[in-house]
Amino acid sequence: MEQDNILEVRNLKKYFTVSTDFLGRPTAYLKAVDDVSFSIRKGETLGLVGESGCGKSTTGRTIIHLYKPTAGSIRFNGEDIDSRTAGKQLRRHMQMIFQDPYASLNPRMTVGDIIGEPLDIHGLAAGKERTRRIIDLLQMVGLNPEYANRFPHEFSGGQRQRIGIARALAVDPSFIICDEPISALDVSIQAQVVNLLERLQAELGLTYLFIAHDLAMVKHISNRVAVMYLGKIVEIATSGELYSHPQHPYTQALLSAIAIPDPDVEAKRERILLAGDVPTPIQPPSGCRFRTRCRYAMPVCSEQEPTLIDIGAGHLAACHLLHKT
């Protein structure tokens, strides 16, 4: 493991059984995450992007062991995480922020108790120290400390997401998986939450895995971006490189859908329409999984699965077109 990597994921698979025979043996799997590898350096943000159902949220939940991995390895701070070690200590250092802040906050608990609960679970603070810490956390995320006595339903979506962030920060984590944290928010609020996450990262030295369904959302916050399609990473690069020189036809199509705030450029923009829906991960297409929607598909694409190849400076993409050049 490279010394400055906080997380290394190797050949991670997460399959869900969708049918069994009369003896209860699996006969079909939904391959939500299928042989995914990447690493995240300390202090960086890796954006993980793809359409709904591509496996990006399952990847995040498997890393934090909300789901048990089917295969592969996860190393966090140089240590292998498996079901045995994925206990309290891991949960303390690795936290998750969810898409729907309302569903993830207990409606019967006050905001103070929601934020204080992780302190109780980990035995980190009690009495006045607990109260002081809750006040600090509320201020840290830009909320009035008086909100501690209120309930989640009294807040807007953006404020609820701030409460979720304060709760995640309570145990002083080093790594946070942000699972579509702004997708459910109004556009006007999204930038505020992204700015808050960036400020907290700078102040607290946090590392993020930032999961989102469109490339526009992760552009601002990510140092590097990985693009997922049907359980696989198809491209990964620094943000600047990915947005200026996308190599995979799927990334190119996703990027072509982003509006450009320059009328001249916008007028010339070619919009690549993706035909059809994402195929089922129960029976993914043979060879390249994107071939059923790719405008460049060739015979080899149905016969051989393209592997990720390094095209320089850590820019990797999985497409047979790159092997030809």
Distance of alpha carbon 192 from alpha carbon 198, whole angstroms: 10
Cα 95 to Cα 176: distance, rounded to the nearest angstrom: 5
41-62 b/e (C-beta count within 10 Å ≥ 16 → b):
beebbbbbbbbebbbbbbbbbb
> In the numeric block, which tokens belong to residue 175?
């790594």
Candidate residues 40, 294, 308, 316; the one interacting with ligand SF4 per rule CB under 6 A: 294
Treating both helix axes as pointing N-terminal to C-terminal, what angle do 111-121 and 127-140 enclose, rounded to 10 degrees?
Answer: 120
Selected from 288, 308, 315, 316, the binder of ligand SF4 by CB under 6 A is 288
Nearer to ligand SF4, 75 or 245 (CB): 245
Tokens encoding 13: 């698979």
- Residues 6 or more apart whose CB falls under 8 angstroms from that of 244 comprise none
Spell out, one character per residue from 226 to 265, where the chain touches ligand SF4: x when CB under 6 A holds, - when not. Answer: ----------------------xx----------------
- Choose, by CB under 6 A, the member of 224, 291, 308, 316 that binds ligand SF4: 291
Does residue 15 contact residue 3 with C-beta atoms inside 8 Å?
A: no
319: contact with ligand SF4 by CB under 6 A:
yes
Looking up tokens 């190797």 gives: 10
Residue 290 binding ligand SF4, by CB under 6 A: yes
Q: Which of these ranges, 8-16, 53-61, 108-116, 283-291, lies near ligand SF4 under the rule CB under 6 A?
A: 283-291
Work out whether 297 is an interface residue with ligand SF4 (CB under 6 A).
Answer: yes
**How many chain residues are in contact with ligand SF4, going by CB under 6 A?**
14
155: amino acid identity, one letter = F
If the CB atoms of residues 115 and 301 are measured against ligand SF4, the closer one turns out to be: 301
Determine, following the binding rule CB under 6 A, whether residue 320 of this chain makes contact with ligand SF4: yes
The single residue among 28, 156, 286, 296 that binds ligand SF4, judged by CB under 6 A, is 296
**CB 21 within 8 Å of CB 10:** no
Q: 72: which 2 tokens?
A: 């592969």
Give min distance, CB of 259 to ligand SF4, in A.
24
The interface region with ligand SF4, picked from 32-40, 238-246, 255-263, 313-321 by CB under 6 A, is 313-321
